[in-house]
Amino acid sequence: MKKKNFVTLILSVAGGILFALGICMGLIPEWNALKPGIVIGAAGVLILLAMALVRRRMDGKPIIVLNGRAVGATLLGVLGAIVLGVGMCMVMVWDMLAWGIVVGIAGIILLLCLIPVVKGLK
């Protein structure tokens, strides 16, 4: 295993676990741990962000790339994640099963559109 893959593995597992635990702490009312959950979730996000930056640095690429394509792909990813999340909320929280499934599928389609945007079509 290459060093960059090992570092990515360790940081992504640590960040993912902290983020998931923080979300659970914040969203499960029985735990009564909203504020600590926000802190732990934010720590997980910071570790995941650091992992992305470290990985790019180890690949010899610039840490931040600001061009129209990168900004557009980022906005498409954010929009797709928000639409998918709204669909999940419609199903699980607001008891709107059919419309939630439709909105969730629309979010999945938006996220799938990222593949040709980032990788391109050949």
pLDDT at 64: 82
Query: What's the number of CA atoms in the CB half-sphere (13 Å) around residue 99?
Result: 7
Which domain does 114 fall in, by range? 65-122
Distance (Å, rounded) from C-alpha 52 to C-alpha 8? 8
pLDDT at 65: 79
pLDDT at 100: 95
* H-run or E-run covering 26: helix 3-27
**Same domain? 72 vs 122:** yes
**Same domain? 59 vs 70:** no
pTM above 0.95, yes or no: no
**Same domain? 27 vs 54:** yes
Residues of the chain with pLDDT under 70: none
**Same domain? 33 vs 1:** yes
Distance (Å, rounded) from C-alpha 33 to C-alpha 44? 16
**φ and ψ at residue 62, rounded to 5 degrees:** -65, 145
**What does the DSSP 8-state code read for residue 63?**
S
Number of domains in the chain: 2
Tens digits of residue pLDDT in 64-95 = 878 998 899 999 999 999 999 999 999 998 99
